Amino acid sequence: MMGTVNKSESSKKSKGRRDLESVEEAKAEGDLEGVPLKKGPWTSAEDAILVEYVEKYGEGNWNAVQKHSGLSRCGKSCRLRWANHLRPDLKKGAFTPEEERRIIEMHAKMGNKWARMAGEVSENFRLSVVVS
What pLDDT shows up at residue 115?
87
CA nearest to 86, candidates 44, 34, 41, 117: 44
Q: Is the model's pLDDT at 44 over the cut of 90?
A: yes
Sign of the C-alpha dihedral computed for residues 5, 6, 8 and 11 taken in this order: positive
Query: Please, which pLDDT band fits residue 17 given cuts at 50, 70 and 90?
Result: very low
Give 64's contacts (C-beta < 8 A, 6+ positions apart). 57, 75
Give the CA diameter of the chain. 83
pLDDT of res. 4: 54
What tens digit of pLDDT does each residue of 63-108 get?
888 888 889 999 999 999 998 899 988 877 888 898 889 889 999 9
Residue 2 CA neighbour count, 13 Å, CB half = 0
The whole-number pLDDT of residue 111 equals: 92
What local confidence, expressed as pLDDT, does residue 24 receive?
Answer: 43
Segment among 5-9, 43-47, 89-93, 94-98 with least mean pLDDT = 5-9
Show the CA angle centred on residue 70, arms to residues 44 and 91, nearest 5°.
Answer: 40
- Map out the domains of the chain with their CATH numbers: 28-86 (1.10.10.60), 97-131 (no CATH)
Contact, 75 vs 66, CB < 8 A?
A: yes
